[in-house]
Structure 1
Amino acid sequence: MDRTKRKEAIASLHQENILRAAEELFAEKGFAATTMDDIAKSAEYSKRTVYIQFPSKEEIHGRIVLKGFMQLKEHILHSLDGQGDFFSKYHALCDSLITFYESSPYLFAGIVDFQTQPMDSRDLPEVKRDIFNVGEEINAILEVIIRQGIAEGAVNPDSRIKETILIYWSSLSSLIMVAHRKSSYISETMGATTIGLLEYGCNLLLRMIAKEVQDADETAAGH
Structure 2
Amino acid sequence: MPGKKKESLTRFNRENIIQSARALFESRGIEKTAVDDIAKEADCSKSTLYVYFKSKEEILQTILLEQMEQLLSLLKENIEKEGKFRDNYHAVCKAMADYEKKYPIYFSCMLEKIELPEGQEKPDAPDVRWQIYETGEALNEEVIVLLKKGEQESVLKKGMDPVLTAMFFWSGISEIIRFSGQKEQYLKRRMNMSREAYMDYAFSLLLESILA
Give the aligned partner of residue 102 of structure 2: 103
C-alpha spacing 1:7/1:63, structure 2 compared with 1 (3 Å): same
Cα deviation code 1:66-113 (max 9, x no counterpart): 111111101112233533221121111111111111221122111112
Alignment gaps of 5+ in structure 1: 212-223
Give the aligned partner of residue 6 of structure 1: 5
Contact 1:68 1:110 survives alignment (8 Å): no
Query: Whole-Å Cα distance in 1 between the matches of residues 173 and 134 of structure 2?
Result: 21
Contact 1:68 1:111 survives alignment (8 Å): no
Using the TM superposition, give the Cα deviation of residue 182 of structure 1 relative to its aligned residue in structure 2, in angstroms. Answer: 2.9
> Does the alignment pair 1:176 with 2:145?
no
What does 1:46-57 correspond to in 2, within 5 Å?
46-57=45-56
Using the TM superposition, give the Cα deviation of residue 131 of structure 1 relative to its aligned residue in structure 2, in angstroms. Answer: 0.3
Using the TM superposition, give the Cα deviation of residue 23 of structure 1 relative to its aligned residue in structure 2, in angstroms. Answer: 2.2
What does 1:202-221 correspond to in 2, within 5 Å?
202-211=203-212
C-alpha spacing 1:29/1:96, structure 2 compared with 1 (3 Å): same
Q: Which amino acid aligns with 2:78?
A: S
Query: Whole-Å Cα distance in 2 between the matches of residues 32 and 101 of structure 1?
Result: 19
Give the aligned partner of residue 189 of structure 1: 190
Superposition TM-score, scaled by structure 1 size: 0.86
Superposition TM-score, scaled by structure 2 size: 0.90
Alignment gaps of 5+ in structure 2: none
Q: Which amino acid aligns with 1:93?
A: V
Query: Whole-Å Cα distance in 1 between the matches of residues 172 and 25 of structure 2?
Result: 25
Kindly, what percent of the aligned residue pairs are identical? 29
Contact 2:187 2:193 survives alignment (8 Å): yes
> Does the alignment pair 1:28 with 2:34?
no
Query: Whole-Å Cα distance in 1 between the matches of residues 179 and 108 of structure 2?
Result: 11
What does 1:1-223 correspond to in 2, within 5 Å?
2-113=1-112, 115-117=113-115, 121-122=119-120, 126-211=127-212
Query: Whole-Å Cα distance in 1 between the matches of residues 118 and 31 of structure 2?
Result: 28
Find the structure with the greater CA-based Rg.
1
Q: How many pairs are equivalent? A: 209
Q: Which moved more, 1:10-19 or 1:176-185?
A: 176-185
Contact 1:68 1:107 survives alignment (8 Å): yes
